[in-house]
Amino acid sequence: MSVMKTPQRSLDENRLRTAVTAANLPTLTMVLFQLTGDRRWLEDPYRPARGAGLGPNDSGGLDDALATEIRSAAVKAITAWSRGAEPVVSNPDPELLQTMLSTTVGEEVPAEYERLMREEMGFAPEPRPHRVPGERIAERDFRVVIIGAGVSGLIAGVRLKQAGVPFVILERNHDVGGVWLTNTYPGAGVDTPSYLYSFSFFPWNWSTHFGKRNEVAAYTAAMADHFGLREHIEFGVDVDSATWDETGQRWFVCGGGRTWSGSAVISAVGLFNTPKVPDLPGLGQFRGPAFHTAQWPSDVDVTGKRVAVVGTGASAMQVVPAIADRTAHLTVFQRSPQWVAPNAEYFAPVGEDVHWLMENVPFYHVWYRFRLAWVFNDRVHPSLQIDENWAHPEHSLNATNDGHRRFFTRYLHEQLDGRPDLIEKSLPAYPPFGKRMLLDNGWFAALRRDDVELVTDGVARITPTGVVTDRGQEYEADVLVLSTGFDARHYLPGIEVRGRGGAELHEAWNEDDAVAHLGIMVPGFPNFFLMYGPNTNAGAGGSFIFVAEAQGRYIADLLSLMGRTGIGELDVRPEALARWVSEVDEAHSRMVWSHPGMTTYYRNSRGRVVTNSPYRVVDYWAMTREPDLADFRRTPVRAHAA
């Protein structure tokens, strides 16, 4: 659990020989090729096979003899590098890099990834926002107010520091981290691999393949410390309004009886910040502890207690296995079943040999991270498209999606073998990826326990001593856990945002029909930027940090432009937003999240998908890599506003 160091050219060869036995072979082969330039490492029989499922495919499908040969050659090449030999392929040309990307994952990677990964992997310098001259800052009192110090807010802070733009971050909690600070329920953690769910500019040696809450919170805190962000943060500020002053071309942000002004505002409040508590009759009369997973009391002990968990979404799937062996009895109330994917690495520690490779072997970390990114970000995207000629649209979308269904169904049957009752209750009828895909962290094993019961009847009401279903059966409980998700359809909850002419943002959105160009800007609200805004959630999985970094860079570029060129107001054009919304909705009409077979927080009360992005991450990266100034109305700084 530490920040990774830059590889140093002084290696213990014996330590290297030990470490490579734990290496991911497809990753090690790419290192070997870059160090030697020998193209045979890109060809059969050394080409890895495509990995099945979501695992890291450490062996690459290669037999022991080939594995031994690769490790031996890698030790020789890395040792030579440590003694001063330069990598033969330090900066592969576009065609070669594309070949390398496809080779290491065992399947064709689309050509557009070459440009993205060249930058992400450090083969080309990442564009940084132009710094704003200090005198321009002073003469305009140019400053940005960021709301929220979670992942997005911290990224915005880093980008603005790079641009030389002054800022303040207002955070309602006592520390940084956002959801990773506040969600302390048992089993809380990421369902994206740790080495992918991390900042590209702040690598970390993770203790487990899927980081748990405490380590992720420590990681975000360490990032804030490393980049000196705390001096810019005011904690304990719960923002309640932001108002645009047209005359002064400034925003006034209020919270806790105080006011901050800024040339621009970045909302980084996140998507999963307002717990969704169901309106269950009798909830207030329950005698024992009753709480949402996001508000887990530190003094609650479930040992020896009868616990009722309402909901079977992502947090329930983490909580239930984490507490099942401590409770006297656990009753789980399921509204709809979830698709669950196997993952053998969910609890697996990352060994010291892997840490050593990440720290000491050139190119190892970037290739390992790319392989995770390909599997968890975009590889599944084609299977999410609706084939209008598919013969079984009621339970799958296309041939590939149907293959996923068969794979996940087989896994479910294997895990629940001998329990036809649980199989019937747990097998979804809707297509895979129609809801957030979940990873098996002991979920099926927990359901099989004699002291765990899965109830599929609806919850009708709460009594002082338990839960009553809509069939009238009561289940006694000492502790009631509401694992009922978040109100993700309503953006910026609890914050009144008034833009040009006093227009209120939530009214413009008709409450739950949020739209924003690129998920970032709304016409009539100049200099107001959203991070994790509408239609930017990666519904198929993957790391939102990647999306947040793209947004942070895009916003910093625009703010740098404003500061350098004397722009007082930057307002996205209505036609740019209309074009974006039309394209998003059209793309969604052909995708799984428009399938009528399930209910999901992705869609609003009108049936429109408001949270998820229909695009691959590589598409969104390209869209946000460089702002198109034709999309904006630019108003110069007025003399009295300077």
CA separation for the pair 629, 642 (Å, rounded):
22
129 vs 341: which has the higher pLDDT? 341
The residue ranges of DSSP E strands in 327-464, in sequence order, are 329-333, 340-341, 438-439, 452-455, 459-463
Query: Band of the pLDDT at 570, cuts 50, 70, 90?
Result: very high
Task: Judge whether 304 and 297 are in contact, CB under 8 Å.
Answer: no
Is the pLDDT reported for residue 166 higher than 60? Answer: yes
Is the pLDDT reported for residue 52 higher than 60? Answer: yes
Q: Which residues of 375-411 are buried (b: 16+ CB within 10 A; e: fewer)?
A: bbbbbbbebbebbeeeeebebbbbebbbebbeebbeb
- CATH 3.50.50.60 assigned to 134-176+229-274+488-641: yes
CATH topology of domain 283-345+397-482: FAD/NAD(P)-binding domain (3.50.50)
pLDDT tens digit sequence for 537-552 = 987 778 899 999 999 9
pLDDT > 70: percent of the chain:
98
Helix (H) or strand (E) holding 622: helix 617-624
pLDDT tens digit sequence for 580-613 = 999 999 999 999 998 888 888 899 989 899 999 9
Q: In the chain, where does the domain assigned CATH 3.50.50.60 lie? A: 134-176+229-274+488-641, 283-345+397-482
Task: Judge whether 153 and 145 are in contact, CB under 8 Å.
Answer: no
pLDDT tens digit sequence for 238-265 = 999 999 999 999 999 999 999 999 999 9
CA separation for the pair 61, 51 (Å, rounded):
8
Average pLDDT over residues 163-188: 96
- Helix 364-373 and helix 94-105: axis angle, to 10°? 70
CA separation for the pair 336, 599 (Å, rounded):
9
CA separation for the pair 309, 315 (Å, rounded):
10
Average pLDDT over residues 380-395: 91
* Weakest mean pLDDT among 52-56, 243-247, 355-359: 52-56
C-alpha distances in Å from residue 416, one per residue of 164, 314, 349, 369, 451: 57, 20, 26, 33, 16
Q: List, in order, residues 6 or more apart from 169 with CB less than 8 Å away.
A: 146, 147, 148, 149, 153, 156, 157, 229, 232, 233, 234
Query: Band of the pLDDT at 71, cuts 50, 70, 90?
Result: very high
Is the pLDDT reported for residue 642 higher than 60? Answer: no
Backbone angles phi and psi of 102, in degrees to 5? -70, -35
pLDDT tens digit sequence for 17-39 = 999 999 999 999 999 999 999 99
136 vs 5: which has the higher pLDDT? 136
The predicted structure's pLDDT at residue 77: 97
Query: Band of the pLDDT at 641, cuts 50, 70, 90?
Result: low
The predicted structure's pLDDT at residue 171: 98
pLDDT tens digit sequence for 276-317 = 999 999 999 999 999 999 999 999 999 999 999 999 999 999
pLDDT tens digit sequence for 190-218 = 999 999 999 999 999 999 999 999 999 99
Strand partners, 618: none
Task: Judge whether 547 and 378 are in contact, CB under 8 Å.
Answer: no
- Helix 64-82 and helix 25-36: axis angle, to 10°? 40
The predicted structure's pLDDT at residue 1: 47
